[in-house]
Chains A and B, each alone.
Chain A
Amino acid sequence: MLALRLARGARPLVQLRRLLVAAASAGTGFLLLCTLGYAMGHPDASGGALLRLAWCVAPIAATVYFAVTVARTDPATKPRSGLSAVGLGPAKLSVLAAISTAVACTLGSMVALLVFLHLRGDLTGLPFDGAASELLAADQPLPVAAALTLLAVVPLTATAASAAVLRPRTAKPAKPDREQDEPARWYTRAAPGSPPSGLPWGIALLAAGLAVEGYASRSAGTSDLTLPGGLAGSPAGVLAGWALTAVGLALAGPGLTYLCGRVLQAARPGAMRLLAGRGLQEEARRIGRPLGVLCAVGSGAYAALTLYAGDRPAIGPLTTLGALLVAGCAVLTLVTVTIEAKHARADTTSALLQLGAPAAMLRGTAALRAGTLAVVIGPLTWVVAELAALPLAK
């Protein structure tokens, strides 16, 4: 109840974020139910149904990632002195965050179920009644247990993940993302200045992934794994390689961001370059990971576009929905994290304003940061995407 009360009093932006989580959860739930419908409609094609279910892992992962980010950045779950005085310490607050994540995701799952039933024709009285009845196997009775199990996947995973991420840890001085409820918390927050360590691993994985992809596409074997949309040729190796590149990009994100900041503030910087560069270095851990994920998603999207550009069969609506979900979750995660970073720097910003920094300069600093990241990450994404699409497009 307390979680609901706290949720009711939150600001519109926070509510919007929770609604977006619910929407993502709804989309993923709908995809899962559609695989169920396919499996019911094609009892003999269990391999295909399983493959569809496997492809749902990508939207599920994206949704859970987004939900955890929203739970982490939720202002209601930040330790507050007033709440901790009445017994709501960090531990209780992490439970609250998990509950609100569960509420949002369950809401989404319910919506997914309603839409699914509606499109099947089980619920009547609205337009598009039974619009997809034959696709979703309306002639078969819906196995309730299976549907509920599938629908519970996203809420359970997201709740468990956010509880695990937000669990109160013993406050070590070198934990970047945890903030204690100390008044001067940005001094105790991190050991700033130490670069994130994932860059070599990320680059190694990236290179390995590209190599695997190249080799796999040369062998041109056939396997049971097919891309959605019925792509002929079975690029299991290609997919494995692409997954490696994606992981590599996600790992390399923080390091790349840190490097961008470092380059930006090099060589006798003025106030703007200094603040922008150091800000990037400071926020590299926070922003870098979602940026890397977005980069991976972008390169995947580019590869998919080149792949389907030829005379391949058209992409189905469910594939589009899945792709949109993944891309949307990646973008929204980055946006959420950016907002979180902005809130975390509110103290610094007010100190700068007190020093007489014009607001235009602060905006310029933010723009400079975003511009640098775009200039560095954009071409990188493009290159990786080109390299990844090269073997696929043959």
Chain B
Amino acid sequence: MVAPPDNDVLWARALHVTHNGSPALTGVSLGVREGEILAVTGPRGSGKTTLLRCLCGQLLPEQGEVWFNSTPVHTMTPVVRERLRRDRFGWIDPEPHLVPELTAGENVALPLMLRGASHRESKASAREWLDRLDIGDCARKRPHALLQAQRQRVAIARALVTMPSVIFADEPTAPLHRADRAHVLRTLTTAARSHGITVVLASHDAEVAALADRTLTLLDGRRVNTVHLPGVKETEKTAERAETTETAETDEPGADGPGADEPGAAAGPARSAGSGGDSDDAEGRAACSLSV
């Protein structure tokens, strides 16, 4: 067992996972640095969710190691892993699984209450986070009275309110429209950056890469450097950007350059690419050629 580099908050080596025999991850290694936003992209079924679940200790890899802050996660007992998840990790689902009988404010305050904070202070900090995410006026509404985008923002606030070390966001924008999608993502990344929270963001949406520091592309359970998607012209730019992103071992300071500097340019081609199909499926179902 090799101890991981010290500056990585999360470090995984050669993860192998199979679901009922069908391989989901075949030898994925990565490191996540403190405070960075890492986008895990790839089409549907490429193992993004499985990778996230491995990293946060919900799922034990059959082979391979996961380290969090220089402690091995893969050797922990389930109870310890659960405590780790509770105390250090946050998780955002594709669907906002809010507690339906609590109001939005109480939903956000709930993690703090579960950790033993008093009613008053949990409510206060929940209120703060809701205000920060622009949904302060929804605090007294039940989830069923909210729009899906608002619910998703409540879920994000709920993940942020405990100030975890790492937030795993598994396709947080999947059920949302394009405008809401950009808004929600920007909210999440801004909040994480301003509070120094590491974010691992899984998405099949190439736009997400524009908001991330680094992008890691998965295809059929492997890390790939380039994904040549069909649709030639439109996705050329995306593919180029995927090419410029590096593997986990080598750092590339300019990685966020093309994404952060020209979000409009990145968003443009992806939007036109998505307009053909439902944008979710267009990429996923397309035949891909890859170069590992």
Binding site for B on A (CB under 8 A): 183-184, 186-193, 268-271, 274-275, 278-279, 281-282, 347-348, 350-352, 354-358, 361
Contacts and interface: CB of A to CB of B under 8 A. Distances in A.
27 contacts: A184-B95, A188-B144, A190-B144, A192-B100, A192-B142, A268-B119, A268-B120, A271-B113, A271-B114, A274-B102, A274-B113, A275-B99, A278-B99, A278-B101, A347-B97, A348-B99, A348-B101, A351-B97, A351-B98, A352-B99, A354-B93, A356-B82, A356-B86, A356-B111, A356-B114, A357-B114, A358-B114
A193 B142 contact: yes
A339 to B, nearest CB: 19
Residue of A347, A351, A355, A358 ringed by the most chain B CB atoms within 10 A? A355
A192 B111 contact: no
Contacts of B97: 347-348, 350-351, 354
Contacts of A275: 99, 102
Tell me the dominant secondary structure on chain B's binding face.
helix
Given A192-B144, A271-B114, A356-B111, A186 B100 contact: yes
Contacts of B111: 355-356
Contacts of A184: 95
A68 B114 CA distance: 38
B99 A354 contact: no
A188 B145 CA distance: 10
Contacts of A274: 102, 106, 110, 113
Contacts of B42: none
B91 interface: yes
Interface in B87-117: 87, 91, 93, 95, 97-102, 106, 110-111, 113-115
A279 B101 contact: yes
A187 B144 CA distance: 5
Interface residues of B, number: 25
Nearest to B119: A268
A192 B256 CA distance: 45
B85 interface: yes
B143 interface: yes
Contacts of B99: 275, 278, 348, 351-352
Contacts of B102: 274-275, 278
B100 A348 contact: yes
A145 B142 CA distance: 57
Contacts of A354: 91, 93, 97
A355 to B, nearest CB: 5
A378 to B, nearest CB: 25
A268 B98 CA distance: 21
B144 A191 contact: yes
By CB atoms of chain B within 10 A, which of A184, A187, A281 has the most? A187
Most buried by B among A188, A268, A356: A356
B86 A282 contact: no
A217 B82 CA distance: 63
B85 A356 contact: yes
Contacts of A361: 114
B144 A355 contact: no
B158 interface: yes
A282 B100 contact: yes
Contacts of B120: 268
Contacts of B119: 268-270
B101 A192 contact: yes
Nearest to A352: B99
A269 B85 CA distance: 25
B291 to A, nearest CB: 37
